[in-house]
Structure 1
Amino acid sequence: MYATKTLKEKIKLLLIILIPILITQVSMYAMNFFDTIMSGRAGASELAGVAIGSSLWVPISTGINGILMAMSPIVAHYIGAQEEKKIQFSVQQGIYLAIGLGAIVSVIGYFLIDPILNLMDLEPQVRHVAKYYLISLGFGIIPMFIYNLLRCYIDGLGQTRTSMVIVLIALPINILLNYIFIFGKLGVPAMGGIGAGIATAITFFINMTLSIIIVYRVEPFRTHRIFNNWKKINFHEWWQQLRIGVPIGFSIFFEVSIFAAVTLLLSAYGTNTLAAHQAANSFASLLYMIPLSIAMSLTIAVGYEVGAKRMSDAKTYAYTGIVSGVFFSLFAGGIIYLLDTQVAGLYSNNPEVIELTKNFLYFAIFFQFADGVAAPIQGVLRGYKDVNITFWMALISYWAIGLPSGYLLANYTTMDAYGYWMGLIIGLTVGAITLFSRMYYLQKRLEKKLT
């Protein structure tokens, strides 16, 4: 990271940070994307099982990773304030925290998988795939959290290309492992959707190992001596990180879990509808990596400028990122509209599933726009370390407005299953409006404070 003076310089630096993050996020999501596609090729029940498993796993994993994302603005602030000596201690405590959170999630998951799946009206094969897909993923939970903590540290320094390299190495390995375990190659029995979970868990170990080696050996990370002179667990530092991370994590959890809740509710509409929903949601989420990457870039850039107390520069980065998010959301909507048949065909060769997937994709066009506004603003607010208000905004807009709206539309109108997606659009739109209002108010308040 470095100081910039002109808008052109800011756009250039933002792109330098953004492009590797985008490649990283797309590659990371591509792992789930290929899990879904390759499981779908193994059968509709395999795809539906992975859909149920993912709907339970993704909100938890993204929520915990959201907590660990506190490391990015913390490191960015230290760099902006020229306090790099504090980085080693914070990252070490963050690693301890990642291990602790991973252990807690593993233990809770062990006891809750069966009770939760028993609450759903699932076909026996779908339930079997979902259960053992989750158990397989469970072996990679702690490595995944350690990797994500180190990644946030790396990105907080502005060294986003390093994260990109790690994931680009891991992605083809993940695809190969999927091929081996899902379809049964090289003497391994075919495991269908369960094999996708095994492949992903192994990939988490690979990501963690690569990140540790790089942080230990490569500059500028080596300078911070992250793995030297380990300090004892410091609960005060944990609290400081959790104060920032927990609201971030829960905000992300509320947004992601509403999609998971819709997936669970749609299980009542049959395997083909559930498979089509998962396929459409998978592709829409892949496109969402663009505004999400913009958000992560803005957290770093805004956090750096706020740490250096250059509020005007932080504001310029904020609006540059929001405009970019809107532009890319329109681009994503166009892709969905023009390539609906081709996209649906990627996930299944079942004509009914393809037609249902196309219908769900049309609704995805509209919530792409809301995401294109809301995600960058969330990144800006994290850069300001303003996370508590956004937590409540996410809870209200997604769960108090979005999901109830979807339930009413699905059950009391002719929209049926598509009503839930209309509810998603309503919730995401309300979230975008409230987040923008909060950002505008915060920027005005900081301007008055410094004048």
Structure 2
Amino acid sequence: MTLKAIILHGTVVIDAYLVSSLGEAALAAMGLAAAIAGFILGAILAFSNAMQIRTAQAFGTKNAVFLKSALVSGLTVSLVVGGVGLAVLAVFGGSLIGAMAPSAEVAEMAKGYLAVFSIVILGEAIGQCLSSYFNGCGRTRLPLYSFCLSLPINVFTSIVFIHGYLGLPAFGVTGAAMGSALAICVQVGFLIYQLARVDGHLARIPGWRQVTFAKTLFRHISFSLPIAATFISATFAAHFCTLIYAKLSLNEFAAMTLIAPWIMVAGTIGMQWAQATGIIVAQLLGQNPSEHVLDRFLSSAWRGAFVAASIVAVIYLIICVSATYLYTDLSIETRAILFGFLPILLVLPFPKQSNAICGNTLRASGDTIYVMHIFVWSQWLFRVPATALAVMYFDVPAFWVLSILFFEEVIKFPLFHRRLFQGAWKRAEVAS
């Protein structure tokens, strides 16, 4: 799961690296377009994460009807969310880019990137859903293989389209989106083939979990909505903040655009450990184990979580120290800002990791509404307004803008840990 997620977010880093050779304006255009598309991708990923837990519960009960219901319901929801998102993007995307872009040149490049990236959004609606299904069933290698297959295609075709090699015209920023679109088509084709090969028999199993598909879909949405709302809120808050970052100076915005994908990629090590913990807890709860079994598992998972947080901090250290060599085409000021992020990046992984273990464990037990409240209110009552004030009113340096992420984790810390230590999650009956 970690390797797959690193490759997923690494694609964004690779695109940013390839586009960085075109200059700060091209990089800002891609960052702006990716932030807008991220609202839709975030919604798709949110429901996919909910489906991952639901599938894990079904897999733990060893009920084939339950498993088929989770798959079909999750896929239906994902396609509807992706379709609605694309419709909204078609109507309002151009106006939003025009309002947020720092110049007309950046706006035109962002619109071209976003038009092609719509194919990626549709592909992710299917691909993320199937990946979450395989993860919930414990077949975590299949999503990894799909990304290992698509990544080389993405890198090669993006280079060709961006710079116009092999006799093709140079598409610039749009070329990065074209490479991603071809790669997602290959990836989705692989996942559909593996689903038919491994679990094709589910199509022949009659019946649904709640008698009819309509009731089954409604039950799936009822379970998924608090989890999805949590992830949607997190993604929307992150991308809303990215739009606010566009009001920074060009060098600061370029630095934030570069460090954000690295935070996602390196942070994935800890986040996927926490999600894997939640999957296994959901599978165990489906088998009605003793509290001793759950305590023993969670204790070992928690120790591993802090090792993961240490690894993330070391990666951040390497990235910041190497900024001068990684981004030689950018200005000295932009690289200096990147290096200045180091102190806050060294401490951020530890409270974030511990909070993630708590949140995923509580979700696995069905305590989804409480987790949703912690995330939603900390984001929209603290992070977003604090970012807006810091950038648009007080004009603080980029370092302190990034530090808001750390202070948000500190606020969430006592709320998560108190709930987990109360122990009610160990007595949840997920099968019912």
* TM-score of the aligned structures, taking structure 2 as reference length: 0.90
2:246 to 251, 260, 267: 267
Q: Secondary structure at the match of 1:139?
A: helix
Report how far residue 31 of structure 1 moved. 1.0
Aligned CA distance change for structure 1 residues 327 and 433 (closer, same or farther; 3 Å): farther
Query: 2:273: which partner in 1?
Result: 294
Instruction: Check the 8 A contact 2:58/2:70 in 1, yes or no.
Output: no
Counterpart CA distance in 2 for 1:307 and 1:167 is 30
Report how far residue 196 of structure 1 moved. 1.3
Query: 2:372: which partner in 1?
Result: 391
2:336 to 342, 355, 372: 355
2:360 to 376, 379, 397: 379
Report how far residue 58 of structure 1 moved. 2.1
Q: Which amino acid aligns with 2:267?
A: Y
Report how far residue 247 of structure 1 moved. 2.0
Q: How many residues align?
A: 425
Q: Which amino acid aligns with 1:90?
A: A
Instruction: Check the 8 A contact 1:298/1:376 in 2, yes or no.
Output: yes
Query: 2:408: which partner in 1?
Result: 427
Aligned CA distance change for structure 1 residues 173 and 413 (closer, same or farther; 3 Å): same
Instruction: Check the 8 A contact 1:407/1:423 in 2, yes or no.
Output: no
Structure-to-structure mapping, 1:25-424, within 5 angstroms? 25-217=5-197, 219=198, 221-225=199-203, 234-310=213-289, 312=291, 313-343=293-323, 345-350=325-330, 351-410=332-391, 415-424=396-405
Counterpart CA distance in 1 for 2:428 and 2:143 is 38
Instruction: Check the 8 A contact 1:139/1:201 in 2, yes or no.
Output: yes
Report how far residue 314 of structure 1 moved. 3.2
Q: Quick check: 333-342 or 189-198, which moved more? A: 333-342
Q: Secondary structure at the match of 2:397?
A: coil
Instruction: Check the 8 A contact 1:398/1:424 in 2, yes or no.
Output: no
Report how far residue 346 of structure 1 moved. 2.1
Instruction: Check the 8 A contact 1:216/1:225 in 2, yes or no.
Output: no
**1:138-182, Cα deviation, whole Å (9 max, x unpaired):** 123222111111111111111111111111111111111211111
Counterpart CA distance in 1 for 2:318 and 2:309 is 14
Q: Quick check: 380-389 or 342-351, which moved more? A: 342-351
Counterpart CA distance in 2 for 1:147 and 1:233 is 26
Counterpart CA distance in 2 for 1:258 and 1:22 is 23
Query: 1:10: which partner in 2?
Result: none
State, as a whole percentage, how many aligned pairs show the same letter. Answer: 17
Aligned CA distance change for structure 1 residues 331 and 94 (closer, same or farther; 3 Å): closer
Counterpart CA distance in 1 for 2:309 and 2:426 is 29
Instruction: Check the 8 A contact 2:14/2:155 in 1, yes or no.
Output: yes
Q: Quick check: 404-413 or 265-274, which moved more? A: 404-413
Report how far residue 310 of structure 1 moved. 1.4
Counterpart CA distance in 2 for 1:201 and 1:230 is 36
Instruction: Check the 8 A contact 2:270/2:309 in 1, yes or no.
Output: yes
Aligned CA distance change for structure 1 residues 119 and 26 (closer, same or farther; 3 Å): same
Aligned CA distance change for structure 1 residues 428 and 112 (closer, same or farther; 3 Å): farther
Counterpart CA distance in 1 for 2:188 and 2:264 is 24
Report the RMSD for the aligned CA atoms in angstroms: 2.5
Counterpart CA distance in 2 for 1:170 and 1:31 is 10
Counterpart CA distance in 1 for 2:394 and 2:152 is 45
Aligned CA distance change for structure 1 residues 206 and 151 (closer, same or farther; 3 Å): same
Q: Which runs of 5+ in 1 are unaligned?
A: 1-20
Counterpart CA distance in 2 for 1:439 and 1:85 is 31
Instruction: Check the 8 A contact 2:158/2:176 in 1, yes or no.
Output: yes
Instruction: Check the 8 A contact 1:409/1:423 in 2, yes or no.
Output: no
Counterpart CA distance in 2 for 1:206 and 1:358 is 37
Q: Which amino acid aligns with 1:166?
A: S
